Amino acid sequence: DVKVTQSSRYLVKRTGEKVFLECVQDMDHENMFWYRQDPGLGLRLIYFSYDVKMKEKGDIPEGYSVSREKKERFSLILESASTNQTSMYLCASTAGGRPPYEQYFGPGTRLTVT
């Protein structure tokens, strides 16, 4: 089974702090994604990566950056956390090649910025 893990289930940070959210997948997937989940808004794509050291902006990249130095690991960085970044963050991965591209999700990190 594909396993996607995230470094923390719950995280509390202060405004202005630099925050790192880590995601690791163990199935050699090419593609990795970061979403934020908010009530009534569903999942919105922040950034995704098709390969090591590659990244592309999603729908809501402002205030975020990412890093993918190794194929299995995809990090989301909040350079200066703000209260409006309080949310649930979900990581996902999917294999490349032919569709359909079923995405496999991590358990999520609930981030609170105070």
Residue with tokens 């995809």: 74
User: Cis ω on the peptide bond leading into residue 100 (within 30° of 0)?
Assistant: yes
Q: Which of 40, 62, 69, 84 binds another protein (CB under 8 A)?
A: 40
Reference 11, options 73, 19, 80, 3; nearest CA is 19
Distance of closest approach, residue 2 Cβ to another protein, in angstroms: 11
Nearer to another protein, 69 or 97 (CB): 97
User: Residue 102: helix, strand or coil by DSSP?
Assistant: coil
Nearer to another protein, 6 or 75 (CB): 6
Which span (11-19, 20-28, 35-43, 77-85) binds another protein, by CB under 8 A?
35-43
Residues near 107 by Cβ (< 8 Å), separated by ≥ 6? Answer: 5, 6, 9
Residue pair 112/82 in contact (Cβ under 8 Å)? The answer is no
> Is residue 61 close enough to count as binding another protein by CB under 8 A?
no
> Is residue 41 close enough to count as binding another protein by CB under 8 A?
yes
Write out the two tokens for 107.
Answer: 């358990």
Binding site for another protein (CB under 8 A): 4, 31, 33, 35, 40-45, 48, 50, 58, 90, 92, 94, 96, 99-103, 105-108
